[in-house]
Amino acid sequence: MAGPMSDPFDLDDIPFDDPAPAPRPGGIAARALAASAPLDPPYLKTLNESQHEAVVTTDGPVLVLAGAGTGKTRVLVTRIAHILNLGLAKPWEILSVTFTNRAAREMRDRVGAMVGGAVDGIWLGTFHSIGVRILRQHAELVGLKSNFTIIDRDDQLRVLKQLLKAENIDEKRWPARALGSIIDRWKDRGLTWQQVQHEDAGEFAMGKTATLYREYQQRLLTQNAADFGDLLLHCLTLFSEHKDVLEIYHRRFRYILVDEYQDTNVAQYLWLRLLAQGQRNICCVGDDDQSIYGWRGAEVGNILRYEQDFPGAKVVRLERNYRSTPHILAAASALIAHNADRLGKTLWTDVADGEKVRVRGFWDGEEEARAIAEDVEDLQRKQHRLDEIAILVRAGYQTREFEDRFLVIGVPYRVVGGPRFYERREIRDAIGYLRVVSQPEDGMAFERIVNAPKRGLGEVSLQAMHRLARAGQTALLQAAQDLLGTDELRPQARTSLGNLLESFARWRAMKDQLPLPELVETILDESGYTEMWQRDKSIDAPGRLDNLRELVHSVGEYESLTDFLDHVSLVMDHDNSGNDDMVNIMTLHAAKGLEFDTVFLPGWEEGLFPNQRSLDEGGTSALEEERRLAHVGMTRARQSLRISFAQSRRTFAEWNSAIPSRFIDELPVDSVEVAAEASVWGQPAYGRHDDANFGAPVEKPWDSPGRRRMHRRNHRTVTRDGQLIEARAEAVDWDERPGGTCSEGDRVFHQKFGYGLIESIDGNRLDIQFDKAGFKKVIDSFVRPA
DNA sequence: CCACATAATCTTTTT
DNA sequence: GATTATGTGG
A459 sits within 7 Å of strand B by its CB: yes
- Is A74 a residue of the active site? no
| pLDDT reading at A323 higher than 80 | yes
Q: For residue A707, what pLDDT is reported?
A: 25
Q: Could you read off the pLDDT of A410-423 as tens digits, one per residue?
A: 999 998 887 778 88
Rounded to whole angstroms, the distance from the CA of residue A254 to the C1' of nucleotide B8 is 55
Residues 49-108 of A with CB under 7 A from strand B: 99-101
Cα torsion A671, A677, A681, A683 to 10°: value is 70
Q: Could you read off the pLDDT of A251-291 as tens digits, one per residue?
A: 999 999 999 999 999 999 999 999 999 899 999 999 999 99
Mean pLDDT score of chain A = 82
Q: Could you read off the pLDDT of A515-565 as tens digits, one per residue?
A: 999 999 999 999 999 998 888 877 778 888 988 999 999 999 999 999 999
* Percent of chain A residues topping a pLDDT of 90: 55
Name the residue with the least CA to C1' distance from nucleotide B11: A397
Give residue A3's pLDDT band: very low, low, confident or very high (50, 70, 90).
very low
B/e letters for A163-193, b = 16+ CB within 10 Å, e = fewer, are bbeeeebeeeebebeebbebbbbbbbbbbbb
- Is A314 a residue of the active site? no
Q: How many CA atoms lie within 13 A of A557 on its CB side?
A: 10
DSSP secondary structure code for residue A647 in this structure:
E
Separation of CA A257 from chain center:
21
Residue A772 to residue A754: CA distance in whole angstroms = 7
Q: Are strands A389-393 and A596-601 parallel, antiparallel or unpaired?
A: parallel
Task: Tell me how far CA of residue A590 lies from CA of A64, A103, A464, A633, in angstroms.
Answer: 23, 11, 44, 10
Residues near A636 by beta carbon (within 8 Å), at least 6 away in sequence: A68, A390, A392, A591, A594, A595, A596, A599
Q: For residue A283, what pLDDT is reported?
A: 97
Q: What is the CA radius of gyration of chain A?
A: 29
Rounded to whole angstroms, the distance from the CA of residue A273 to the C1' of nucleotide C1 is 48
- Is A308 a residue of the active site? no
Give residue A709's pLDDT band: very low, low, confident or very high (50, 70, 90).
very low
Q: Could you read off the pLDDT of A596-609 as tens digits, one per residue?
A: 999 999 999 998 99
A611 CA: nearest nucleotide by C1' = B12
Q: For residue A541, what pLDDT is reported?
A: 83
Cα torsion A463, A466, A468, A474 to 10°: value is 170
- pTM of the entire predicted model: 0.81
Q: For residue A492, what pLDDT is reported?
A: 86
- Is A260 a residue of the active site? yes
Q: Could you read off the pLDDT of A339-385 as tens digits, one per residue?
A: 997 888 899 999 888 999 999 998 889 899 999 999 999 999 999 99
Highest average pLDDT, of A39-48, A495-504, A648-657, comes from A495-504
Q: For residue A786, what pLDDT is reported?
A: 63
| pLDDT reading at A756 higher than 90 | no
